[in-house]
Amino acid sequence: MSLIRFEVVDGVATLTLDYPQRKNALSTEMRVGIVAAIERIRADPDIGAVVLTGAGGDFSAGGDISAMHELTPSSVRQRLLDAHRWLEQLMNLDRPVIAAVDGAAFGAGFGLALAADFVLASDRARFCMAFARIGLAPDFGVFYTLPRVVGLQRAKEIIYSAREIPATEAKALGLVLEVVPVERLLPRAREIARGLAQGSQVAFGLTKRILNRAFETGPATLFELEADAQGVAMSTDYFREAIARFGRKEPPLLHWPAAPTED
């Protein structure tokens, strides 16, 4: 039985981690399902955006602790290198990726959420870098993603303390873009995804790959990458049609729906 539910509606692929009896722990079977889903998305040009979420009231509680005692240092290393390959594919995917987080996003589950372009959270979501609780260093790309979002000192505090971060604080720290009531979480994520699905996959892909290198790349190299990217983007049919729509005074296809107002 697959532990990933995959559905496509209106150009938006929704990937649901579906192992609720284990709080969507990232078991070997779950990881295989995620890899297969990424491959399906990359092969389907009609998919314009992705929503990643979890079943049963949790995003993911992280690694499958019940299987960890069987791992050796070499098998751990290989397991993570395999995960890093598809995490990098997810982070550089030429479609926007939105993580819709309800309940727990702990450990590797927190890392998986950070691999998305945007994180939306329900008002009952909780985030925790739980690794230190069992004497582990972070994994699932956290050394790359977390300091980029919150800065080095705050990243150390979040990792060392292994404390739970409620959704409202996660938003204040920049870990979460929006906090919404739980019943609005998936509809809001899909609403944003439908608007972004109308964008240029070429432009999104180029933009992501450059932004993901921005912190460790000097200005001269970034300027060159920018110039190359713009040349490629301007050669696409999407750009030509967008310019034609502008000339006809038609609205752009791409749109970001306004955020819900807060009480």
pLDDT for 75: 85
pLDDT for 64: 72
pLDDT for 1: 54
Is 139 considered catalytic here?
yes
The full set of domain ranges for the chain reads: 4-196, 201-247
Residues of the chain with pLDDT under 70: 1, 66-67, 69, 261-263
At the second CATH level, the architecture of 4-196 is: Alpha-Beta Complex (3.90)
Cα(228)–Cα(206) distance, integer angstroms: 9
pLDDT for 229: 97
E strands along the chain, which residues? 4-9, 12-17, 49-54, 97-101, 104-106, 118-122, 126-128, 165-166, 178-180
User: What is the pTM (predicted TM-score) of this model?
Assistant: 0.93
Is 69 considered catalytic here?
no
Cα(241)–Cα(247) distance, integer angstroms: 10
Of 139, 237, 255, 263, catalytic: 139
Of 64, 82, 84, 123, catalytic: 84
